[in-house]
Amino acid sequence: MKHHLAGTQKNVGACKDVPEEVKKEMREIVVGLQQKLNKKSSLNMDEEMAETAGDKRKHSEASSDNMFKRVFSKQPTINNMFKKGLTEEACQAIARFFYNNAIPFNVAKSEEFMTMFELVSRHGLGFKPPSYHEIRVKYLKEEVANTSLALQAHRDEWKKMGCTIMIDGWMDKKRRTIINFLVNSPKGTVFLKFIDASAISKTSEKVFEMIDNVVEEVGEDNVIQVVTDNAANYKAAGQMLMAKRKKLFWTPCAAHCVDLMLEDYEKKIPIHEETISKGKKITTFIYSRTSLICLLQHFTKGRDLVRSGITHFATSYLTLGRLHENKGALIRMFTSEEWKTSKFAKTNDGNMLKMWC
């Protein structure tokens, strides 16, 4: 019965309806029983050897033989060398799987990666991996069910401590407007749902309706605040939400507020606008020419001038910081013999960049 519930396929078929937590518990029990059985068999073997010794002299000789065996057992055996070869072959196959399928190397650091191989090794010889159809249908449905169970733990935490609904809008590669809804609590942040808002007018009334439905789904008594960006339609929707739901607060996103501040700096302060414009011309001139990129890498020792940020305006100021940090390297570059002898030094843009640096 234990092997049936654990799904070990040992002299019995695997149960198809057993819950995952029961299956895991049964596997641990089966492994523990097998270890106890092996230990008991080892003790019985030692007792039989002691009984057949006969007398003290033979027992001493047997002990001496055992000591001799222990000394030489430290040397590599044929089996150990064979297993080492199999290990190397298996590791190479795993690495090749990463390379040929363009899987990020960070996947090897994940907890699921180690758990997968631990369970495969427990099964032993004859393990058959799941098929394409099983991964796509059977186990996907099971994982969705497990995720729902994990989400329930978060919902229980929302009832105890309260939560924050966070709304993030973005545009995918197909130019669709996607609005993500996430819920944060002391237990952590979970992705709740998304809405394809491409066909929805982004008026304050429509935005309010979407947010209000999510608040209703999470539970009004559980929601402490709703965080959105600071756009006019979201701000109006937040005010409408607080008018209807008296127990929660609307809060503008701090990151979006900072981005709006940087936008005002760039567009409304002349020296910022002029400096950022010059910085863009320097980076565009260099990064649009392969030979200048190589020359830049030589003088900056591999450091780039462009530093990407989360938003457009953050990128502008981060890039200005990089230009300031590498000012000395740029001066050396534009005064070097390589620059003077290049065709770019004779252009109007090249002379202008040299003057700026």
Q: What are phi and psi of 77, to 5 degrees?
A: -95, 170
User: Which residue matches tokens 């001496």?
Assistant: 64
- Tens digit of each residue's pLDDT (9 = 90 or more) over 5-49: 777 766 777 777 778 777 788 778 877 777 776 666 555 555 555
From 214, 212, 155, 210, select the one nearest 187 (Cα to Cα).
Answer: 155
Same domain, 266 and 238: no
Same domain, 240 and 267: no
Distance CA 168, CA 260 (A): 16
pLDDT for the residue numbered 71 = 44
Under the banding of pLDDT at 50, 70 and 90, the label for residue 109 is very high
More confident residue, 344 or 311: 344
As beta bridge partners, residue 196 has 178
Q: Which domain holds residue 247?
A: 155-252
Same domain, 241 and 299: no
More confident residue, 113 or 76: 113
Under the banding of pLDDT at 50, 70 and 90, the label for residue 83 is low
**Is residue 48, in this structure, part of any structural domain at all?**
yes
pLDDT for the residue numbered 52 = 53
Neighbours of 9 (CB within 10 A): 14
Same domain, 242 and 286: no
231, 252, 273 - which closes a domain: 252
Under the banding of pLDDT at 50, 70 and 90, the label for residue 100 is very high
pLDDT for the residue numbered 68 = 43
Distance CA 331, CA 128 (A): 63
Distance CA 115, CA 214 (A): 35
From 219, 210, 234, select the one nearest 157 (Cα to Cα).
Answer: 219
Under the banding of pLDDT at 50, 70 and 90, the label for residue 73 is very low
Distance CA 320, CA 311 (A): 15
- Whether the predicted pLDDT of 214 surpasses 80: yes
Three-point CA angle 346, 348, 349, nearest 5°: 105
Same domain, 270 and 198: no
Do residues 234 and 206 lie in contact, with contact meaning Cβ atoms separated by under 8 Å? no
198, 224, 252 - which closes a domain: 252
**Is residue 137, in this structure, part of any structural domain at all?**
no
Distances from the Cα of 219 to the Cα of 24, 224, 247, angstroms: 33, 10, 11
Same domain, 242 and 287: no
Model pTM score: 0.56
CB under 8 Å to 321, separation ≥6 — which residues? 307
pLDDT for the residue numbered 49 = 58
- Tens digit of each residue's pLDDT (9 = 90 or more) over 184-194: 999 999 999 99
**Is residue 110, in this structure, part of any structural domain at all?**
no
Distance CA 330, CA 305 (A): 10
From 166, 206, 213, select the one nearest 185 (Cα to Cα).
Answer: 166
Token pair of 218, please?
């999470």
Residues, the chain:
357
Terminal C-alpha separation, the chain? 79
User: What does R_g of the chain's alpha carbons equal in angstroms?
Assistant: 33
Total domains in the chain come to 3
